[in-house]
Amino acid sequence: MKCQYCSCTESKVIDSRPTEESSSIRRRRECTNCGRRFTTYEKIELLPLMVVKRDGRREPFDVQKIKAGIMRACEKLPISMQQIDEMTASVEQAAYASMDAEISTTRLGDMVMQELKAVNDVAYVRFAAVYRLFTDIGDFMQELQRLVEENAQKQDE
């Protein structure tokens, strides 16, 4: 591990512990040359996952695209970055847990919508409008009506 201050490649581990999500290990290191401390994270290398687009193209899975879509849907809503990170991590974990080498954008979109629906209805509808390619106000109203009915059922239970 290269020291970020002096570029020395020798350092010793002072402290090691799992992160909150237990998906990586946080290590505090001390450079043997300059004595300064820095933090590194060790993460399991995941198998490559390909995303199959609607038009049949394939591209590598990019969790930053998932996060960007969630952030766009949550813009100007009372949703914290921690919640956005949790939703993103949940979708990423579910995508890799499928154990398939490929995953469709449809399946990924459904995963994101499920996460958004649990957090905020407005963010869910915003994402659904883009993801489901609403072409007119009727499509939009149908989705809103379905959401209202589901919420009414939840309240009755």
CA distances from 119 to 79, 113, 144 (A): 8, 10, 16
How many Å apart are CA 69 and CA 31, to the nearest integer? 39
* Nearest alpha carbon to residue 128 among 119, 138, 116: 116
Q: 94 and 143: one domain?
A: yes
Q: 111 and 139: one domain?
A: yes
* Nearest alpha carbon to residue 89 among 45, 23, 18: 23
- In sequence order, the β-bridge partners of residue 17 are 26
Q: Torsions phi, psi of 121, nearest 5? A: -65, -35
pLDDT score recorded for residue 130 = 85
Q: 92 and 133: one domain?
A: yes
- Expressed as residue numbers, the domain containing 15 is 11-43
pLDDT score recorded for residue 146 = 85
pLDDT score recorded for residue 139 = 79
> Is the whole model's pTM more than 0.75, yes or no?
no
Q: 59 and 85: one domain?
A: yes
Per-block average pLDDT, block size 10, for the chain (157 residues)? Answer: 91 90 86 94 81 94 96 96 95 88 93 94 90 79 85 80
pLDDT score recorded for residue 70 = 97
Is residue 6 assigned to a domain? no
Is residue 5 assigned to a domain? no
Is residue 19 assigned to a domain? yes
Is residue 27 assigned to a domain? yes
